Chains A and B, each alone.
Chain A
Amino acid sequence: MQRITKLKVRLFNLSILLFVMMLGISCAPQRSAPSQQSQDRISPETEASDALWTAAEIATLRSIWIGSLPPLPPDPSNFVGDDPRAASLGQKLYFDTRFSANGEVSCATCHQPDLLFTDGLPRAEAIGTTPRGAPTIVGSAYSPWFFWDGRRDSQWAQALTPLESPIEHGGTRTQYVHVIDEDETYRAEYETIFGPLPDLSDRTRFPEVAGPVEDLEARAAWDAMALEDREAVTRAYVNMGKAIAAYERLVMPGPSRFDRYVQALLEGDEETMQTTLTPDEVAGLRLFIQQGNCIRCHNGPLFTNNGFHNIGVPTTEGLPLDLGRISGVQQVISSEFNCLGSYSDAGPDDCAELRFVKTLGQELPGAFKVPTLRNVAETAPYMHSGQFATLREVLNHYNQAQAGPIGHSELTPLNLSDAELAQLEAFLRSLSGHLATDPEVLAPPQ
């Protein structure tokens, strides 16, 4: 996580305030939406769904069904993304606490397999406390953007960020590459996948601790290194990230009761439909795709469009205003590890998301990445800094749609009744299906 000085934040907030005021003055009023009666129920595909769903609704349900999840496309920026040897090495790195400043922090500290790759905390804790909460990594391989503000554009580039953050793993890339070099298993596995490591034995050329980090001593040591030595270390460090990413690509959500319901619907199996979801859950599902508008952003089989939206979530007391995407987009553009950079294996044609990224617009300030809702009942607390402890608090937020601390919220009040909110919550709870991942992948390798 990037640490920003207080003054900087205050000044930035001032300019944002100015910006929001200008917006209010200069923007034309919202166009009013022409309305029209909802289309009549047309005859559905199957008798079983007759009373319940229109053909268009069935198409929507199919689109969020786990059966519609396509095979994971390759990550062109990571040439070992689908190499099982890399995934196996990555799994070891993922759970290894030696890759930290104090020997106690691994990725699994904050993304615990037992907690569906979250940590159950509003804000993550390791060397320090992060200003944001740890999202799940389940299914995240499908996303073009990582972090709540999308400041990285690949899983490998993402993994390299906490490793050098002073409040997360807290170490440096030279330190980590020494660990690989000095562990026989690691070195052997690394070298079969990526080729020989550089000779790191000369500690004046390759200090124990050195990297482009906040710590002044580590940074000075890094700056003193020869350019080609820094390059060599960074390459090996990037390869660590690519191995971790290959591991993360294996972590996928499992089918939930909701999915069994949709499958039964598609098969015309009314009996299974009735025994799979309760009437309240079905009513909640209907609210989700209709009145609740949830499907606008939580769409597709992972219940996320992997985009960025401002929904006006309040700032946690004591934390600076979080700018969200408007800041994240500048960071990904300038990251040495982005899709177009020299450590990426992608050609420019593979980097459309970055080349055509939206950098400006009222949609970006205060926008955060839409999280998946699969297993959401198991991954409290919620929102980018754990602002809400329960699903009910989340739903109350959507129901009221209060203005947020910055920018323009895309929500409008839903005015649902208590009973309807309970139905929506019941539906969200039907999305638990744990993982579709080999149990061996969920623990440190023996």
Chain B
Amino acid sequence: MKSFRKSLVLGSLLIFSMILSACGSATSLNEEPATEQKMEEMEGAKEGTGESMEGMEGMATTDDVPAELDTATTRMTEQGTYQVSITSNLDPVDINQIHSWTLYVETPEGQPVENAKIAVDGGMPQHDHGFPTSPQVTKELGDGEYLVEGVKFNMAGWWEMSFAITANGQSDSITFNIVLQ
């Protein structure tokens, strides 16, 4: 009977949190990782070449990706507060492999942004589902760089990866488009 009551409480808690998060907010129950992550090698994150993500894997899909989709990997946030670059630490990006990305945040003047709080979210707008995992920023790497762990794409097509960034009391967000063909 004790375990029964426990599971009831757990169940209601679960349901409650499901309701809270059902529409795809970035909330996650994951605890902060207990140990420091090994620093990943990163090249070119800061340069922000605006290189396109298209054709990363060269797979065909039935979903037609909008032609005008901006797949640049260096972009201004919505309100123009920050310039952000993303680089995958899995090259080439592939489906079904959990991996990390490096995020670089700078001011429009090119000053690296430190001590930012960053929430990650994303999914496939054409399929109405989120990431199959709960990616998180787990580490500030310094010089405006942040480690995004737990990213996974589980099918080909158009994915969005969004970041809500708050630093020095200023919040702004950005959504990148990633096309896995």
Contacts and interface: CB of A to CB of B under 8 A. Distances in A.
Given A144-B98, A326-B18, A356-B149, 13 more contacts: A28-B23, A31-B126, A33-B125, A35-B64, A55-B58, A60-B59, A290-B60, A297-B154, A305-B96, A349-B35, A358-B132, A360-B27, A362-B24
Interface stretch (A17-25, A129-137, A376-384, A392-400): A17-25
A291 interface: yes
Interface residues of A, number: 63
B154 A307 contact: yes
17 contacts: A8-B7, A11-B11, A16-B15, A18-B15, A33-B125, A36-B66, A289-B62, A296-B155, A299-B155, A305-B132, A330-B14, A355-B33, A355-B150, A356-B98, A356-B149, A356-B150, A363-B130
Interface stretch (B102-110, B133-141, B169-177): B133-141
A353 B132 CA distance: 10
Contact of B62 (A290, A299, A358): A290
A312 interface: no
Contact of A63 (B10, B15, B59, B150): B59
A233 B59 CA distance: 49
A361 B24 contact: yes
A289 B59 CA distance: 10
SS class, residues of chain B in contact with chain A:
loop
Bin chain B's interface residue count.
35 or more
A59 interface: yes
Contacts of A297: 154-155
B124 to A, nearest CB: 9
B78 interface: no
Closest 9 CB pairs of A and B: A356-B150, A56-B60, A36-B64, A59-B58, A360-B21, A33-B126, A305-B154, A15-B15, A34-B66
Interface string A292-315: 010111011000011110000000
A73 to B, nearest CB: 10
A30 interface: yes
Name which of A7, A31, A358 has the most chain B CB atoms within 10 A of its CB: A358
Interface in A6-62: 7-8, 11-12, 15-16, 18-19, 22-23, 26-28, 30-31, 33-38, 54-57, 59-60
B2 interface: no
Interface string B150-177: 1010111100000000000000000000
B12 interface: yes
B33 A60 contact: no
A227 interface: no
Contacts of B27: 360
Contacts of B11: 8, 11-12, 15
A358 B18 CA distance: 12
B8 A8 contact: yes
Contact of B17 (A28, A349, A360): A360
A192 interface: no
